[in-house]
Amino acid sequence: MLARLPASGAWIVLAAAACGGADPSAERGAYLVSVSVNGPGRLLSLPPGIDCPGTCAAAFASGSWVTLAAASVDDVSFVEWSRGCSGASGCGFTASNDVEVTARFERPEVVQKK
Report the pLDDT value the prediction gives residue 91, as an integer from 0 to 100.
Answer: 96
CA 5 – CA 82 distance, rounded (Å): 24
Domain ranges of the chain: 32-106
Top-confidence residue, 23 or 28: 28
Q: pTM of the predicted model, to two decimals?
A: 0.70
Mean pLDDT of 99-109: 92
Report the pLDDT value the prediction gives residue 100, as an integer from 0 to 100.
Answer: 97
Q: What is the pLDDT of residues 30-70, one digit of tens each?
A: 999 999 999 999 999 999 999 999 999 999 999 999 999 99
